[in-house]
Structure 1
Amino acid sequence: MKLLIIEDEPEMLENMVQTLERQHYVVETASDYKSALHKIGVYDYDCILLDITLPDGNGLELLKALKSSGKDDGVIIVSAKDSLDDRLEGLNLGADDYLPKPFHMAELHARVKAVLRRRHFEGNQQINIGNVAVAPESREVKVDGNPIVLNRKEYDILMYLITNKKRLVTKSALAEHVWGDHIDQADSFDFIYSQIKNLRKKLEHATITIEAVYGVGYKLEVM
């Protein structure tokens, strides 16, 4: 799962990044309005943590831009501005939650998990697809009730394909979502082929299959 933190306080930003990276999220950051606007326009995120007060603009304007573009990224407003008007405006604009500062990092993680569960998994603690069961919070994967061991990237690829099941996922979208925006600097997608090959082997007894669409990307199918 990929997150974007929009926060201009360096210490707060670093604490949030460290907390969420320890939970195996791909985390990107923006510390001002201009760079945040660029990122939400170019990339897709599972959840955006949005500060309202930025040095060069208002975070609520970023939320308006996100929603007017038709994107459905989850949004949690994280701000010291805890007035009722700000909270109501943010929620009315389409934010999923509002977390006032100061807060404990454990609560931040809990709020992120709740938004992801509601948006991607209909609130379920476990995802079942074919004979595969995935527990997102523990990152456990089972086939016919038997655990299989996936490395971090294999798991992230599987989850991205599950959340986009039956849809064609381009190689570039998959790479950017699992490895982050620095993937733009990569010369090829050979590293994806390797991870997909290993993932297919581990899912050989599963009733789901990762189909390759030559030259374009991949699609998850239930057999």
Structure 2
Amino acid sequence: MKILVIEDEIDLQQSIKESLVKEDYLVETASDYHSAIEKVFVYQYDCILLDIMLPHGSGLDILDELKQAGKTENIIIISARNSLDDKLKGLELGADDYLTKPFHLAELNARVKAVLRRKNLAGENGIAFKNTRLDISERLFFVNGQNISLNRKEFDILYYFLLNKKRLVTKTGLAEYVWGDNSDQADNLDFVYYQIKNLRKKLQDAQAEIEIESVYGIGYKLMEI
């Protein structure tokens, strides 16, 4: 799962990033309005942590642009401004939660998990499809109730497929989601193919009633067997 931290206080930004990485999230950062706008409109994120006061612009303006573009990201405002007007404006523009600085990182992590459950998983802790279930909180995968070991990348790939089951997932989109914007620097996407190959074998060996189909030259689809 992929999170963007938009925060200009570098020490706080790094503390948040380190805390979320320990929870096995893929975390990217932006420190000002312009770099934040570029990332939110180029890449896809499961959750965005957004400071209101940024160099060269406001986090509320970012929210407004996302709303106008119809992008329904999971957004938690993190701000030193404990203003009712700011909270109401942020929620009106589409923010899902508002956390006032200073805050405990454990509370932030809990808020992130709650937003993901509420928006992506309809309040549940996992996703079930046919005879499989992905437990998001514990990062476990089950086939017919039996735990199947997945590495971090395999888990994130399967999560992305389950969120987009029966829909086309491009190789580029999958690479950006699981490996982050650093995937743009890769000479090819062979690393995606190898992870998909390993995941397919695990699904087959476990007799999962789902499979990852290739769409020649474009990407993949997760389908039921």
Given the two structures, how large is their TM-score scaled by the length of structure 1?
0.98
Q: Which residue of 2 aligns with 1:152?
A: 152
Partner of 2:67: 67
- 1:60-79: per-residue Cα shift (whole Å, max 9, x none)? 00011112111121100000
Task: Write out the 4+ residue segments of structure 1 that deviate beyond 4 Å after TM superposition.
Answer: none
What do residues 130-169 of structure 1 show as CA deviations (whole Å, max 9, x unaligned)?
1001110000101011110000000000000001111100
Give the number of aligned pairs.
223
* C-alpha distance after superposition, 1:33-92 (max 9, x if no partner): 011011111111111000000121111000111121111211000001110000000001
> CA–CA distance in 2 between the matches of 1:126 and 1:184?
30
Amino acid at match of 1:210: I
- Pairing partner for 1:216 from 211, 214, 218: 218
2:30 — aligned with what?
30
**1:44 alignment counterpart:** 44
SS at match of 1:203: helix
Supply the distance in 1 between the matched residues of 2:40 and 2:213 (Cα, whole angstroms).
29
1:55 aligned residue: 55
Contact 2:78/2:100 (8 A) holds in 1: yes
Distance 1:182 1:126 in 2: 28
SS in 1 for 2:99: strand
How far off its partner does 1:222 sit? 1.6
Partner residue in 2 for 1:21 = 21
2:191 aligned partner: 191
**1:82 alignment counterpart:** 82
Residue equivalent to 1:207: 209
Whether the 8 Å contact between 2:6 and 2:49 is mirrored in structure 1 is yes
Aligned to 1:100: 100
Contact 2:72/2:94, CA 8 A, preserved across alignment: no
Give unmatched runs, 5+ long, in structure 1: none
Where 2:45 maps in the other structure, the secondary structure is: coil
Structure 2: runs of 5+ lacking an equivalent: none
- Counterparts of 2:134 and 2:39 in 1: how far apart (Å)? 30
Aligned to 2:171: 171
- Percent identical pairs in the alignment equals 59
CA distance in 2, matches of 1:186, 1:119: 32
